[in-house]
Amino acid sequence: MKKVIVIPAAGKGSRLDSDLPKIFTAIYQSKSIFDLIVEQGTSHVDEMILLLSPSGKEYFDLHIASSAPKNVHVWVQESATGMFDAMNQLFESLLHRQEDFQVIVQWGDQPFCDAELHQTLFSDLNKFEVSVPLVWVSSPYVQFKLGSPLAVWESREGEKCDAFGFKDMGIFAFTRGSIDAAWPLYKINAPFGKVTGERNFVKFFETIQQKTEIFWRLDQPYYKSIGINTPEELNEAHLFLSQKEQIQQGSSDKS
């Protein structure tokens, strides 16, 4: 069974006031989002696939490739046309392979989904076809309204989320069989957003639940869900890493 992590990361860092591809944005002491993802994500998988824009691939080749782990492979999304198209490219390419696989999808702005979480999700896939960790937050911008049927609401598409609710952590785990069973159906029926006009990925779970059981993992700490899209979120991530280092240093000094 091949274990794969895919990282859709073709986005730009424009909201972070950066000319770099977002995944290569520095967070703390010169470490980038990419550095943290790779540190946590490559030792226990057969392959990590980065889906980058053409300019992201160029940056990777110039500055990253020579020191990147050998199991990190780069694919190119020629046009940044949204997460649906990114995931369609990734899923279709994986399904063309002959071998069986388990795959974790992790957004390229989620640096705190660590090795422990990866291993937990791969373990879940030995019992379930799909595993999705959720966290309870105030004012979720994407809300998973659990029930039968499942509803996934997106505030950016004008859908009113509750004052409190479950949101995803930017990481999802699938067996090959679950993708093969549900993705072709979603490709046909995926709705276009009422505001952006884009088809998104998160509503895929409304379709996949019709085909198989989703295991909703609700035991993960909030900090692992911190994504980096805005200067405020970048500052939050920097502060978190700084405080964590100080606490670890204090514990080390006492021992």
Q: What is the per-residue pLDDT for 81?
A: 74
Whether the pLDDT of residue 67 is over 70: the answer is yes
Question: What percent of the chain stands above pLDDT 70?
Answer: 95
Structure tokens at 28: 């703390």
Place of tokens 């424009």: 14
Structure tokens at 40: 């946590």
Structure tokens at 32: 């980038």
Whether the pLDDT of residue 166 is over 90: the answer is yes
Whether the pLDDT of residue 71 is over 90: the answer is yes
Compute the CA torsion angle 12, 238, 115, 23 (nearest 10 deg).
Answer: 10
pLDDT, the chain, mean: 92
Question: What percent of the chain stands above pLDDT 90?
Answer: 77
- Please check whether the domain covering 2-249 is classified as CATH 3.90.550.10: yes
Q: Which residue has the higher pLDDT, 66 or 252?
A: 66
Q: What is the pLDDT of residues 35-50, one digit of tens each?
A: 999 988 888 899 999 9
Place of tokens 């990282």: 7
Whether the pLDDT of residue 17 is over 80: the answer is no
Task: Please state the rounded mean pLDDT for residues 200-217.
Answer: 95
Q: What is the per-residue pLDDT for 30?
A: 84
SS (H, E, C) 127-166: CCCEEEEEEEEECCCEEEECCCCCEEEEHHHCCCCCCEEE
Q: What is the pLDDT of residues 87-121, one digit of tens each?
A: 999 999 999 999 999 999 999 999 999 999 999 99
Alpha helices in the chain (DSSP H): 33-41, 54-63, 83-95, 115-124, 176-189, 204-211, 231-254
> For the chain, which residues make up each domain, given as ranges?
2-249
Residues 6+ apart with CB under 8 A from 244: none
